[in-house]
């Protein structure tokens, strides 16, 4: 497999906006809540948008050799990358660890990170508890509808990064656009959803009992990113890189590389790119970006 440009799967959840509709995401949906830029989940796979396999699902073309030796550590493709546009607040939620998820859900858990693309004035994120709490205190706050009072609210700007480890209560606030790099899992426990109903008028499902089992009840501490390196853990390594004229990207260590353009236009090898396009570079391959812009580069070490 060679370098490919990807077309995302698009979701129209009730809290989403229209920001990404103008960036050639190939959808007629009124809302574009999430663009699943890099996904090999069977029902939501990215589509290859360049080369000899154009039009095929990435999940159907990808091989272990394309992913790289890092597959020795994972029984599944490790990453899921999304662009998210929150017109309204997302639900307050928490993700379990691998240990809990494997025991009770026959699934892996979910670690993730958020990197801010843009944000309306005074908009932000709810991330983690603002002090140490007991399980009973959080359960009471959920019953009383005061859970937001227990959380940190961080006003955000482009370039801010937050690591969301399993057990961290979190919610994306209205007016925030971001890129989310996460463990390849869709396992979420919803604690609170502002008493919203779905398109059929039914209250959205909550998962209080399981959520209370997995919450980290300690005060949250922000993990600061270090210059270009936004995150580096066993699930993902992520960098933001500015470039002018040329940038070589080389997937020759242990795994594939995926990169998403936050700014700019030009060519990757002979494939044109523009803002918010995502590419997949198989293990052992390299490519040359020509142009000027900014990319988020994701891999697994």
Spell out the residues 6+ positions from residue 270 whose beta carbon is closer than 8 angstroms to its own: none
Nearest Cα neighbor of 110 from 76, 134, 142 is 76
280 burial via Cβ count (<10 Å: 0-12, 13-18, 19+): buried
Sign of CA dihedral 292, 296, 299, 301: positive
Instruction: Give the length of the chain.
Output: 301
Rounded to whole angstroms, the Cα distance separating 102 from 213 reads 14
Catalytically annotated residue among 31, 41, 140, 190: 190
Rounded to whole angstroms, the Cα distance separating 142 from 255 reads 42
Helices and strands of the chain, counted as H and E runs: 5, 19
Cα 43 vs. chain centroid, distance in angstroms?
Answer: 17
Coil, strand, or helix at residue 252? coil
- Assess whether 196 carries a catalytic annotation: no
DSSP for 110-154, please give it.
--EEEEEEEE-TT-EEEEEESS---HHHHHHHHHHT-GGGGEEEE
45 burial via Cβ count (<10 Å: 0-12, 13-18, 19+): buried
Catalytic residues: 190
């Amino acid at each position: 497999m060679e370098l490919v440009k990807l077309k995302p799967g698009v979701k129209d959840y009730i809290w989403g906006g229209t920001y990404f509709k103008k960036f050639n995401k190939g959808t007629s949906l009124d809302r574009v809540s999430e663009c699943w830029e890099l996904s090999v989940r069977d029902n939501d796979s990215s589509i290859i948008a360049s080369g000899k396999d154009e039009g095929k699902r990435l999940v159907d073309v990808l091989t272990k050799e394309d992913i790289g030796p890092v597959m020795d550590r994972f029984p599944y493709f490790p990453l899921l990358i999304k662009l998210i546009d929150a017109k309204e607040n997302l639900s307050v939620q928490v993700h379990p660890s691998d240990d809990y998820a494997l025991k009770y859900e026959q699934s892996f858990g979910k670690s993730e990170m958020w990197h801010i693309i843009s944000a309306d004035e005074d908009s932000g994120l709810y991330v983690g508890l603002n002090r140490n709490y007991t399980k009973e205190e959080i359960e009471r706050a959920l019953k009383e509808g005061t859970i937001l009072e227990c959380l940190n609210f961080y006003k955000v700007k482009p370039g801010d990064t937050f690591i969301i480890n399993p057990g961290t209560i979190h919610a994306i606030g209205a007016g925030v656009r971001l890129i989310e790099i996460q463990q390849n899992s869709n396992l979420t426990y919803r604690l609170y959803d502002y008493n919203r109903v779905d398109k059929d008028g039914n209250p959205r499902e909550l998962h209080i009992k399981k959520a209370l089992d997995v919450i980290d009840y300690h005060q949250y501490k922000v993990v600061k990113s270090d210059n270009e390196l936004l995150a580096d853990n066993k699930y993902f390594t992520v960098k933001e890189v500015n470039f002018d004229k040329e940038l070589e990207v080389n997937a020759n260590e242990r795994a594939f590389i995926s990169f998403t353009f936050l700014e700019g236009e030009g060519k990757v090898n002979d494939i044109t790119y523009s803002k918010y396009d995502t590419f997949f570079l198989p293990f052992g391959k390299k490519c040359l970006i020509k142009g000027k812009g900014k990319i988020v580069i994701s891999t697994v070490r």
